[in-house]
A and B are shown apart, each in its own frame.
Chain A
């Protein structure tokens, strides 16, 4: 790529387009937003194509000493690359989802979304601690506006809750960052990732970061902002919230908590396992009794994120890769599910599950895609959901068998609530005349769900494309954690080097 600052360009394109959208009428704002997000998607593709797998850990680095105390430093490794890809992939779909359903203040809406894209990419690309914090926190402003201005009936409460909850979570992280920088004498993230903080101090630092990431993730019991925010946000807002914003929590753990505070991470491992176990079981049960489709998917997100955290805190390559795969898969699948809800919401203006029924009769194409995403959410082999969940559970099995046992029930409960949802919406009698009269997917909606469906299948059938870029980074992280990693209780007889693929095949029948 030579000296072309591709990451800066990826940040600038949506920012410039977003500012321009503020001054445009509805039609041109939509076109410009779509164009800008597609340009960013193309740039993302270039980024992926030029990413040198097995090359330097940090690629496409840029650095400018613009500010006092911190610098404008960008750069990505395989983990960041994949999350950036997820963001730029979902953005055009979000714009498409808002094409018709948003008809008031379109320019401002598109502006907020494009600003959001800039900030998301910035979070994943930042290589400076404070630059990361600025991007991380700044995301609150556009999301607050998106929920508050274009949200549902109870949007004000939801937007306040979202804003204050996440703000309270992350301010303490800033103090921890200031302390780290003061101690280590640098704001450079790669340097800090190799810096050994005093284990005593790590405990406090870890807790401060945990407060932020646990809220963002969200982990039980600080997840309560999520169902409110999801339900009230417009469709595209939910897609981006579930698809990318939740991943910032996981990214935070994998980028900061684990490599910077390995001892503290291990020390708090049981806490995470406990919270994750509670989350998987409780939120799955809560999801089972929801009447609101978005709320159901929101609770399922919390359960899936718990699978991410147990994978991360398994401290081995399998678990870490698994959690990354769950994050990517969940980004696609929950985004797609919110989109599916949005599609029928646009027609009937209700998210009440009972108001639908028998949609497979009048909307066969819709039912097909909805089924695909439902299965992916359940974790059916062949879809993206399976790979990540399996790897995560296999990873945690090496460390804590009890956690595996409890968390694996999440798969069963997940199947229960998702299939129950699907049955009530797509099968059965067409009990409501208005729901029975809804038209099937049109071309615009197909253009949104088909790429998502293909990506879900691709990730399920050939996950190697996604595992390859991050393998070296995960291995480096595992090596970093090795000195503190706990002794497992599973007493594996087989060698740990045994390739995951074989185990994969052995368990497939049992699943």
Chain B
């Protein structure tokens, strides 16, 4: 598919979006009853499921406990059926371990961990279908799950990717655009304070363009924020009416 035109002269991307448009986001909170918090999100064809346990006391080795804050434990995995060709190993490979670390960093920055010294918060995320922007979908799902679990956070963490193709910054890349191998930025943002929880970039991008790409990414994050906020409000509304009965 070397010849595929990622951005046409008319300004359409392969899937018919324009440069700054997000894929359709659908999300649900509280999908499982056993876990403390859970959420499911679809960003286009990328589907992710997040489950949160905690805060609870340390499991496993107690020596890992931190005396002044909670330990955030993350695990990222991809379902074997999530990609075009069946995956052998759902987690534990190099790529997943890296993603796990990134998630951990992101949520250590967002959760008010100092409220729960010597305890542990577990975040498990699984990609059910991968179509680009896996990290972003995971962060967004985990945010919703954390909120569902009632763990205090500084702000929502919203993540979105942005790429740079044909001298134009594109928001929220899908798999085809990612696979083209152009520069890609993944940004996790605390939208109210405009603070960056995590920023990652692949491939080479000229310094001059970085600002534009960052702008596109943070705009996309804020758009995601609007959607997530609505989902949370709807969920709360639903739960309260149920309780009220």
- A interacts with B: no
User: Measuring CB to CB, which residues of chain A are less than 8 angstroms from any residue of chain B?
Assistant: none
Spell out B's residues near A (CB within 8 Å): none
